[in-house]
Amino acid sequence: MKSNKFLLEILAIVLVLSVIPALVRQQYILHVIMLAMIFGIVASNWNLAIGYGGMFHLAQVPFFAAGGYSTAILSVHMGLSPLIGILVGGVAAVILSLIIGIPALRVRGIYLVFLTFAFHFIMLSLVLYFVDITGGDMGLILEPIRIGATNIDMFNPVVTYYTALSLFVLSLVFIKTIIDSKIGLALVSLRDSEVYAVSRGINPYKIKLVTFVLSSFLAGVCGAFYVHYLRVVTPALFDWSFLITFLASIVIGGVGTLYGPLLGAFILTFLMESLRFLEMFRNIVFGLLMILILIFMPKGLIMLANRAQSIFSSRQNSAGIVDEEN
């Protein structure tokens, strides 16, 4: 029953997002929606660790950047196909997650935050130091992803949009599969009561490390896709705006929910773009919005959608009972 419901939800999402290019002729709108999908993928995968696993870490931006820089370096210096580079970006993020996770996940709380935060600066320093490889401050100019004779980049918004949509749907299925698996059940058990979970034979370190690694793969893939879309990679991948966007998407949308980070990413991306005329003051508006949501809707905006669905279902059930009585 749950699988059927999820399938219907996926079909509805695909249907709605698929018709947008036919209705919207402005390339800029397609660009913003595509960014929202990419940011939503990274945020929802981060939510696997934060929301479902209770592991608050700050390594998601390094995973994103690792995907971008690995495909860029191999494409520029070794001639690797950008299409293969997307998968390489995911693998690079997985390798980095093992390097970070094996020592970092032995601690928890604020120590985990600081350890993962340190890797952010380590990676940025390496990028700025090895100028001949990474391009330093200037970055690297990249080739677009090509499928046949079609380029997937900012100059072909419709094709790129549908490619991002494919990644978006893949991410949803990926996360849902993990949540419903034994790993997901063990992860939630550890989050809710680690003592009870351990008493049932669950290895906390192993489960957390597996989740940490799984949540990094699509972040790396998105990083690789993002830089080839822009056709340039620079240290801006480590910018604080990415960290804030990904984390705020989870908080605004709903921590520990399947669709919350995706909803948060869409709302946040469109809000930030629509408030560009405020320049530096848009960060103030954004901060006030987060404060209001945390105070009045601590479980995120997804709760409004869940509440509306519950009201609709209850009305349908009431109507069914009335029909039966008649």
Residues 6+ apart with CB under 8 A from 8: none
Q: How far is CA 200 from the centre of its chain?
A: 31
pLDDT of residue 72: 96
Tell if the pTM clears 0.85, that is, is over it: yes
Using DSSP, state whether 109 is helix, strand or coil. Answer: coil
Report whether 220 contacts 66 (CB < 8 A).
yes
Q: How far is CA 166 from CA 14, 96, 171, 173, 216, in A?
A: 9, 25, 9, 11, 18
145: helix, coil or strand?
strand
Angle at 103 between CA 102 and CA 106, to 5 degrees: 95
- Pairing, β 145-147 against β 150-152: antiparallel
Please tell me the predicted confidence (pLDDT) of residue 283. Answer: 74
pLDDT tens string 246-293? 999 998 999 999 999 999 999 999 988 888 777 777 777 777 887 888
More confident residue, 54 or 312: 54
**C-alpha to C-alpha distance for 294 and 255, rounded to whole angstroms:** 11
Per-residue model confidence (pLDDT) at position 325: 58
Tokens of 194: 């680690």
